[in-house]
Amino acid sequence: MGLKLVSSNDDSAVAIRDHLLPLVRERGTLELQRDSVRLVTLEMGLWIINHWTPFNELSPAEASSPSYRHAVQRQRGLQDLPYGLEVWHREKLLCLVWADDGASKVIDFVRGAWEADALALR
């Protein structure tokens, strides 16, 4: 019988993201809204949480219809993961990106006691 290893990094990273996103959205400060990015930052003591989302104001030369946006999206070769979250506490501890369809990727994840502390933030 084989042993199946299941990665808990993604699950832990997503749990931290799901806990921190409402805090950032509720209490964060808009830092940047330009081109295709909107960046909101929440600072709580030594914690710095950055959350970026897609933001794109169409130029007058671009069509404003949803079909235009879908056509542009279909032209891209790689799947975009437009949402992101970074967690800092003296150093970067977590960075992950995701898309509306549920696809996600953990870029950086430093395991440690900070995980429980992050989940305890209110």
pLDDT tens by residue, 26-60: 999 998 776 678 899 999 999 999 999 987 544 44
Residue 89 lies in a domain: yes
Residue 66 counted as domain residue: no
CB 14, CB 110: distance < 8 Å: no
| Cα–Cα distance, 48 to 24 (Å, whole number) | 10
Burial 1-17 (b: 16+ CB within 10 A, else e): eeeeeeeeeeebbeebb
Tell me, yes or no, whether 17 lies in a domain.
yes
Q: Specify if 1 maps to a domain.
A: yes
Neighbours of 120 (CB within 10 A): 8
Q: Is residue 61 part of a domain?
A: no
What tokens does 94 get? 């977590």
Q: Within a domain: residue 75? A: no
The rounded distance, in Å, linking the Cα atoms of 70 and 107 is 27
Examine residue 71 and state whether it is found in any structural domain, yes or no: no
Query: According to the model, what pLDDT value does residue 9 have?
Result: 67
Residue 12 lies in a domain: yes
How far apart are alpha carbons 83 and 32 in whole angstroms?
14
Number of domains in the chain: 1
Residue the block writes with tokens 């953990």 = 106
Query: Which domain covers residue 85, as residue numbers?
Result: 1-33+42-51+81-122
Residue 67 or residue 10, greater confidence: 10
